[in-house]
């Protein structure tokens, strides 16, 4: 799946990076990543391969070592101040980079963004207000005053494709682009299993009951820090009765009657829908 750990990438927290050696730098300005034009492929982009971001006239805050891509160290960092303009690079949101970076570097970029965003948002202890420091040997910030540990935040969310014979249920959020429908989704609450989240979210959003819940796949989703866990489920009972605060519309579709738009190929929701369509077409 997109955003899964690429084969060439090895996550790590301790670096043996030799001073003066080049590394891949995942540098963010707010939510945008700095990327360079790839001279060898028209329209393609690449991650800066530098000794230090200062080579591009960029200063950064604390630099987070995130692992190795092949044998090359990788760092995530956030710019400090206003970076100088430079024709050799551009700033881009991650979604717009899908298909312009290699799939593997796109995946590492998602990881780098989550780490950079976590570090940027947890400079001070939420318990006592003291400035945090990095814990040696693990991805953690520690408060030197009260000892509170601050790990990167990951928010688990379920996604479910509900089938009723040859039909499947899709819904649209008021936040979707016009005409787009997707599988139901929602965040897990404290004390719930993922299966309990599926049952609750489906009933809350569309008023039906499901059964036979089956795991499909998962996908880290760095917008900004979710982990999407996708399932198939079968319809059990009830009629569609949407929660208007969450859902604008929901309906049963089939392979011959699809909505105007489906989610983009970047998302696990599209993978889940395509897998369902493929199964029904070959049933």
Identify the CATH number of the domain in which residue 200 sits.
Answer: 3.90.79.10
Predicted confidence at residue 17, as pLDDT, reads 63
Mean pLDDT along residues 210-238: 95
Among 27-41, 136-150, 247-261, which stretch is predicted with the lowest mean pLDDT? Answer: 27-41
The dihedral built from the CA positions of residue 164, 271, 277 and 170, taken in this order, carries a sign that is positive
Candidates 147, 108, 131; CA nearest to 12 is 108
Q: What percentage of the chain has pLDDT greater than the value 90?
A: 77
> Is 32 inside any structural domain?
yes
Residues 110, 136 share a domain: no
Range of the domain at 131: 122-152
| Coil/strand/helix, residue 242 | coil
Burial class of residue 178 in the structure, from the number of CB atoms within 10 Å of its CB (0-12 exposed, 13-18 middle, 19+ buried): exposed
Predicted confidence at residue 14, as pLDDT, reads 82
Q: Is the pLDDT of residue 82 over 80?
A: no
With cut-offs at 50, 70 and 90, classify the pLDDT of residue 130. very high
Give the number of other CB atoms < 10 A from CB of residue 240.
15
Instruction: Record the pTM.
Output: 0.87
Candidates 31, 20, 57, 55; CA nearest to 109 is 31
Residues 40, 95 share a domain: yes
With cut-offs at 50, 70 and 90, classify the pLDDT of residue 37. confident
* Domain count of the fold of the chain: 3
Q: Residue 96 is encoded by which pair of tokens? A: 């717009």
Predicted confidence at residue 4, as pLDDT, reads 52
Among 57-61, 73-77, 210-214, which stretch is predicted with the lowest mean pLDDT? Answer: 57-61
pLDDT top residue among 35 and 223: 35
Residues 191, 90 share a domain: no
Residues 167, 263 share a domain: yes
With cut-offs at 50, 70 and 90, classify the pLDDT of residue 183. very high
Q: Is the pLDDT of residue 26 over 70?
A: yes
Q: Residue 107 is encoded by which pair of tokens? A: 């995946």
Residues 191, 96 share a domain: no
Among 19-23, 108-112, 167-171, which stretch is predicted with the lowest mean pLDDT? Answer: 19-23
Bridge partner list, 69: 9, 72
Map tokens 């089939």 to a residue: 254
Predicted confidence at residue 146, as pLDDT, reads 96
Q: Is the pLDDT of residue 176 over 80?
A: yes
Residues 160, 277 share a domain: yes
Map tokens 């395509």 to a residue: 274
> Is 3 inside any structural domain?
no
> Is 4 inside any structural domain?
no
Q: Is the pLDDT of residue 76 over 90?
A: yes
Predicted confidence at residue 40, as pLDDT, reads 66
> Is 182 inside any structural domain?
yes
Residues 272, 166 share a domain: yes
Residues 129, 168 share a domain: no
Candidates 146, 157, 152, 95; CA nearest to 122 is 152
Residues 107, 200 share a domain: no
Residues 147, 103 share a domain: no
Residue 99 CA: distances (Å) to CA of 96, 113, 153, 199: 8, 18, 27, 35
CATH code (residue 53): 3.90.79.20
Map tokens 């971001």 to a residue: 53
27 vs 66: CA distance, rounded Å:
12
Predicted confidence at residue 235, as pLDDT, reads 98
Q: Is the pLDDT of residue 133 over 50?
A: yes
> Is 168 inside any structural domain?
yes
Predicted confidence at residue 1, as pLDDT, reads 43
Mean pLDDT along residues 61-88: 88
């Amino acid at each position: 799946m997109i955003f899964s750990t690429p084969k060439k990438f090895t996550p790590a927290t301790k670096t043996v990076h030799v001073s003066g050696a080049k590394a891949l730098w995942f540098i963010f300005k707010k939510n945008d990543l700095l990327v360079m034009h790839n001279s060898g492929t028209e329209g393609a982009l690449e991650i800066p391969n530098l000794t230090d971001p200062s080579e591009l006239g960029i200063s950064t805050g604390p630099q987070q070592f995130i692992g190795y891509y092949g044998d090359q160290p990788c760092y995530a960092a956030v710019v400090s101040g206003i970076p100088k303009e430079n024709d050799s690079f551009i700033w881009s949101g991650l979604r717009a980079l899908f298909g312009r970076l290699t799939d593997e570097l796109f995946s590492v970029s998602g990881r780098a963004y989550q780490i950079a965003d976590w570090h940027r948002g947890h400079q001070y202890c939420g318990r006592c207000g003291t400035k945090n420091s990095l814990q040696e040997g693990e991805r953690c910030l520690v408060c030197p005053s009260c000892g509170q540990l601050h790990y990167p935040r990951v928010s688990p969310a379920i996604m479910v494709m509900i089938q009723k014979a040859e039909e499947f249920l899709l819904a649209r959020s008021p936040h979707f682009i016009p005409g787009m429908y997707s599988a139901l989704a929602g965040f897990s609450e404290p004390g719930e299993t993922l299966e309990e989240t599926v049952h609750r979210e489906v009933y809350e959003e569309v008023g039906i009951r499901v059964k036979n819940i089956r795991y499909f796949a998962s996908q880290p989703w760095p917008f900004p820090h979710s982990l999407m866990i996708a399932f198939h489920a079968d319809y059990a009972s009830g009629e569609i009765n949407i929660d208007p605060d969450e859902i604008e519309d929901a309906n049963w579709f089939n392979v011959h009657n699809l909505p105007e738009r489906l989610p983009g190929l970047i998302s696990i929701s599209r993978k889940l829908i395509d897998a369902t369509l493929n199964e029904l077409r070959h049933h």
